[in-house]
Chains A and B, each alone.
Chain A
Amino acid sequence: MAENPDRNAPKPALQLKSQKFREARQGDWRLLNAQLEKAERDGLKSFSIDELLNLPVLYRSAMSSLSMAQSISLDRNLITYLQTLCARAYVNIYGPQTRLKEVLAGFFVRAWPRSFRSLGLELILAFVLFFGGAVLGWLLCAQDPTWYGFFMPGEYRSVDSSVAELKETLGGNTEDQALSPFAVFLMGHNTQVAIMAFAFGIMFGLPSVALLILNGIPLGAMLWLFHSKGLGLEFAAWLSIHGTTELFAIIIAGACGLHIGRRLIFPGDQPRRDSLMDAGRLTGTVMIGVAAMLTVAGCLEGFGRQLITESWIRFAIGGAMLTLWLSYFFFVGRERKHG
């Protein structure tokens, strides 16, 4: 095999085709490798315009080298190297999008409201479940006040509290700081509840149903308590300033959980794995928005509720927020109808 017909040639060119191929291309590979190391170390910002323009060219040439090498070369080191190089280049070029402005615009103008709208019926179901829980809490307490202690163990606003005490809990905390640690804690807690309601969807959505009802009951119970002491309106105002945002967010999270459960039980024409993946993508998008809503709610709760004590202003802000959210969800990001 390895016979050399011309031993006296000054520079013998006895080479395999794969070796010639390698010799011709390896300069590009090494350059791409160096560029990738630079990108991994310093980020793409350190690239000059020429280097940036050259990067996709090098990437495509490496990709084509790989296809070529796989059909002509049996040098495993070479193919391994090219596979790794292409994989690294691929994750660098198709990695997470880094331009923050585009990501934000794409998310808030299109992805989020559209995903929200495609939840549809699940939103209504989550709404019914949550407020069904609230009605249940109210009715049970109205029938027998001892239920209140059962639902809200350890709550300082109990059936025995006087009207004055209750009223005090609704007032602004003028002496305290605007952004109290308690508000941050509540925000964290609510985010946790929302994530749970969402993630429980994977258990066929049943725990999400339970979680929605269980979070509705205390609301009904407290409404009943304040109503029975003649403070119903004040309480509703106190709650509405942030509650319209916060409860809306929790209901959306519950709807996401229900959506996952439904797609898991009834995958339709798709394989169950694909159906789950679709559902995960859709609800994941909605849930990032929910986290943003909960942040807004936390700010309203931390600042607004402490500083604003007039019931009607509280109502106005709560109502305005609700209108804002609803019109945002129903009108932003609609695809234009042609014709």
Chain B
Amino acid sequence: MAKPAKRDLMSDAPYGEYGRTATMIATPEGVILPFINASFGERLGALMIDFLIMAAIPIVVLIVWVILPLEHFSDDHKAASSILQVVSLAAWFFARSGYFMFFEMGPKAATPGKRALKLRVVAHDGGRLTPAAVFTRNALREVELYIPLGVILQTSAGMGNSWVSLAALLWALALVLLPLFNKQHARLGDFLAGTRVIHIPKASLSYDLADLDGDAHLGLTFTPDQLAYGEMELQVLEQVLRERKPAVMRAVADKIKARINWQAPKNSADMPSDEAFLRAYYGALRAWLEGKMLMGKRRKDKHDAALT
């Protein structure tokens, strides 16, 4: 995946979340959609939840075994007890090898742990997520985690070579930390299967902040010279206005007023509140920038040349 060229500010802060990277995936319709990469912490968290669930399977089996009076049962019902054993063995086998594959091949393409953290698996090339890819990415867990862990446990139990164990530890550590060293936070299995784990946040359509009519009634107008900011600042301002924290709005309003040399009205009763001022400024700045955008002129941030 080539590093996304700086198309516009949206791709630097996918879904409005700064500090996260996105994987650009071309859909079959030819639209390039940015998907937020799951962060290392999210992936680790999902794995922990899944491990807890997997650990619960044998524990439940054990509890059932202890609670039910099975000492005599196995003598009385040979066939039934054998079926029970088969079921418990199959449960254990499922827990180790099949759990991830079963859930990721399903329609949600995510294990319960991933689902809890709003993660899901997608194919990197934009096509369907195939069962083969899911199999591959999960089979690689053996090499990444299970086998090295097995070796280490064996050594700590007194068997095996401590050098081998050290090598296994380093190997597992390197592979577990691999997602930290690539932009898309993919692990080895993802590379081999051509999959990525993405984060899909829930977003809601809020109201539109620009209210030109209301602003006009307030009588707040700005000259193009006063609209001395770019798209980046506009979006920060939008965030400030949506969060509506009085202290922040005061600080931002003061800063803008100082920068644009704003003349406060003489009559203190006409003095707009910070929020009203910021909203008016937001509306004016957005109208100005969008108008220029339609002509193909953009100003990324305040350090860019002013639009004329």
Contact = CB atoms under 8 A, between A and B. Distances in A.
A180 B144 CA distance: 32
Given A66-B31, A281-B133, A287-B135, A26 B89 contact: no
Contacts of A12: 213
Contacts of B289: 74
Contacts of B220: 2
B290 A2 contact: no
Interface stretch (B8-16, B56-64, B154-162, B244-252): B8-16
B288 interface: yes
The main secondary structure of chain B at its interface with chain A is: helix
The main secondary structure of chain A at its interface with chain B is: helix
A96 B215 contact: no
Nearest to A180: B82
Contact of A74 (B78, B82, B132, B293): B293
**Which among A19, A40, A187 has the greatest number of chain B C-beta atoms within 10 A?**
A19
Interface in B24-79: 27-29, 31, 33-35, 78-79
Contacts of B286: 16, 74-75
B290 A73 contact: yes
Give the size range of B's interface with the partner: 35 or more
Interface string A198-241: 11101100000000000000000000000000000000000000
Given A2-B284, A77-B242, A280-B192, A177 B29 contact: no
Contacts of B116: none
A177 B79 contact: yes
Interface stretch (A83-91, A145-153, A308-316, A319-327): A83-91
Contacts of A18: 290
Interface residues of A, number: 79
A96 B231 contact: no
Interface of B: 8, 10, 14-16, 27-29, 31, 33-35, 78-79, 82, 85-86, 89-90, 92-93, 97, 104-109, 120, 122-124, 126-137, 139-140, 142-143, 147, 188, 191-194, 198, 200-206, 208-210, 212-213, 215-216, 220-222, 224, 227, 231, 234-235, 238-239, 242, 280, 283-284, 286-290, 293-294
15 contacts: A2-B212, A16-B287, A60-B29, A75-B209, A84-B202, A84-B203, A87-B35, A91-B122, A96-B129, A185-B89, A191-B93, A199-B139, A202-B140, A285-B130, A287-B132
Interface of A: 1-4, 7, 12, 14-19, 22, 26, 29-30, 40, 43, 60, 63, 66-67, 70-81, 83-88, 90-91, 94-98, 103, 107, 111, 177, 179-181, 184-185, 187-188, 191-192, 195-196, 198-200, 202-203, 260, 273, 276-277, 279-281, 283-285, 287-288
Given A72-B294, A95-B108, A284-B139, 9 more contacts: A67-B31, A70-B8, A77-B16, A94-B123, A94-B128, A96-B109, A107-B131, A284-B136, A285-B135
